Amino acid sequence: MAKGNDRSASPNDYSQSLDYLYGLEKFGMVFGLTQVTKILEAIGNPHEEIQAIHIGGTNGKGSTAAMMASILQKEVYRVGLYTSPHLVHFTERIRVNGIEIEEEEVATLTGWIRERIGASEIASPFTFFDFTTAMALLYFSQKKVDLAIIEVGLGGRFDSTNVINPLLSVITNVTKDHEEILGKSLLKIAGEKAGIIKNGRPLITATTQPRVLQLFSKICLEKNAPFYRVGKDFRYKPIGERNFHYEGLHRKLWGLHLNLSGVHQIMNATTALGAMEILEELGYPVSTEAMIEGLREVDWPGRLEIVHPFPRVVLDGAHNPAGALVLKESLEKEFHYNRLTLLMGIMKDKDFKSILQTLAPLADHIILSKPQMERASSPALLLKGLGTNGKKAEVIEDLPLAIEKGLSLTQEEDLLCITGSLYTVGEARDYLLSKEGL
């Protein structure tokens, strides 16, 4: 029996597997690659058989990863996609060609990995993310994917996913988030994210801050890693909602249409297209048709997602100040409404005051609630953070009740926006889509 984690109960079904996996969360976030490396060694180092794209950054990782996966699938590659967190179901985290891992496969892999860990006597605690990362890499190896797109969980340098040696690294952007873990300064955060840059492997970034770009350039030079930038090597020009022109290394694509809302998604799409052009130089052909159709058909729930047109309900997982600014810009430019109701639930480790101060002035009414997460901030605390905007706010702790109140306030020409956390959005989405008629 392995030491450090209780493995006495052998999971034989999906429910028991989830109980075990979520039980690992009691060990919190333990950063470093030691434990995930030991797990991978115990299960045969499946990551060594996988060709991967590693994607980090503060915001936009999931959307950009989804776009890359959509394009590559149109090129008829077999594509693995590992993202976090999930919105509703654990199985969303691990996909091959857009199809989520089966619950039965989660149970089987969990049991087998636990057996191998036990036989290897891995001593100290490992985390939920260590285990699920190893599971994803094993699954992709078993499914013989051509390419796997692996999203960083947090930071980069000490993230469990950083065991891979990818073909290409992507850093979408760098803004302040998780400062208590990654550091208080922008450069410290950038340094952590730059930990995914590998020797001789290209980096593409959409970061714009000169100091961050200088840091990335220096690290790439030291590691002999080709350095590509959105805005310099890959350029875009918006031409209305969801449409844009693209000019890259070898292609000029006019009138591209993107199936995701938000002004920021065009930059994410340009990052994805740039990554495809770099992949081509590495021996993975990607046709213009695959690029066009991949962007036209990409789907990524919970990001400016309209889940019901009448009354209009939009879900967005903005969970930090930079995300709130992007949401604010989108609400101002892309949506037209008489009255806006904001329903917000935010994690207590976030800069909730900045998020609230950015979004609250747009709203006619604000409902403060919380998802069923220990990390969720008390709505009463959020109310204090609203300052003078608190006059138009109310607290409804129970999220389904808060949603019903929001719906009751939303007439045909109005908008209800549910935001503040992917956990809030996930629970809200599950509730709304399970309602009759939605």
Mean pLDDT over residues 180-192, rounded? Answer: 78
Amino acid occupying residue 98: G
pLDDT at 437 > cutoff 60? no
* CATH class held by domain 305-434: alpha beta
Kind of pairing, strands 252-257 and 243-247? antiparallel
| Residue 424 burial class via C-beta count within 10 angstroms: exposed 0-12, middle 13-18, buried 19 and up | buried
pLDDT tens digits for range 319-358: 999 899 999 999 998 899 999 999 999 999 888 999 999 9
DSSP 8-class letter at 375:
T
Q: How confident is the model at residue 263 (pLDDT cuts 50, 70, 90)?
A: confident
CATH of domain 14-297: 3.40.1190.10
pLDDT at 422 > cutoff 90? yes
Pick the more confident residue, 28 or 107.
Answer: 107
pLDDT at 98 > cutoff 60? yes
pLDDT of residue 182: 59
List the domain boundaries for the chain: 14-297, 305-434
SS3 state of residue 117: helix
Among candidate residues 185, 275, 260, the one with its CA nearest the CA of residue 229 = 275
Best-predicted range by mean pLDDT among 36-45, 258-267, 381-390?
36-45
123 with 3: CB under 8 angstroms?
yes
State the DSSP H helix or E strand holding residue 80, giving kind and residue range, or none if neither: strand 79-82
Query: HEC states along 207-268?
Result: CCCHHHHHHHHHHHHHCCCCEEEECCCEEEEECCCCEEEEECCCCEEEEEECCCCCCHHHHH
Which residues on neighbouring strands pair with residue 169, listed in sequence order? 54, 203
Percent of the chain residues topping a pLDDT of 90: 82
Q: How confident is the model at residue 308 (pLDDT cuts 50, 70, 90)?
A: confident
